Amino acid sequence: MASCERCGSYLTPTSLGPGRRCPRCGAEGAVTGGDAASEPARAGAGSSTPWHFVVLVSLVALYLGWRLVQGIVWLVGIIG
């Protein structure tokens, strides 16, 4: 995990400003450790969809699909 040498705050790659500036104290290049120190932050680098969001969307899609089947069966019962 990256941290600032001057103020000691822990940093994430997305919290670093241009020139690897610390957002808290403004020290330029005082960042050590982690991926944040070795390369500048890139948009979308290493980001992925959280597993619990994938599970939630899958369960909602499954539920809505089942409700669609129930609706079709209900319509067939009413019409037929």
pLDDT in tens, 22-54: 878 877 766 676 554 444 545 555 568 899 999
How many domains in the chain? 2
**Residue 25 in domain:** yes
19, 29 contact by CB (below 8 A): yes
Top pLDDT among 21 and 68 is at 68
Top pLDDT among 10 and 40 is at 10
Which structure tokens are listed for 34? 């982690």
pLDDT digits (tens, 9 = 90+) for 56-75: 999 999 999 999 999 999 99
* Long-range CB contact pairs, 4-11, < 8 A, 24+: 4/30, 4/31, 4/32, 5/30, 5/31, 5/32, 6/30, 11/36
**Residue 43 in domain:** no
Q: Give residue 47's pLDDT.
A: 66
Integer Cα distance of 4 and 49 in angstroms: 28
In this structure, the answer to whether residues 34 and 56 fall within a common structural domain is no
Domain carrying residue 70: 48-80
Q: Give residue 70's pLDDT.
A: 98
Q: Give residue 75's pLDDT.
A: 96
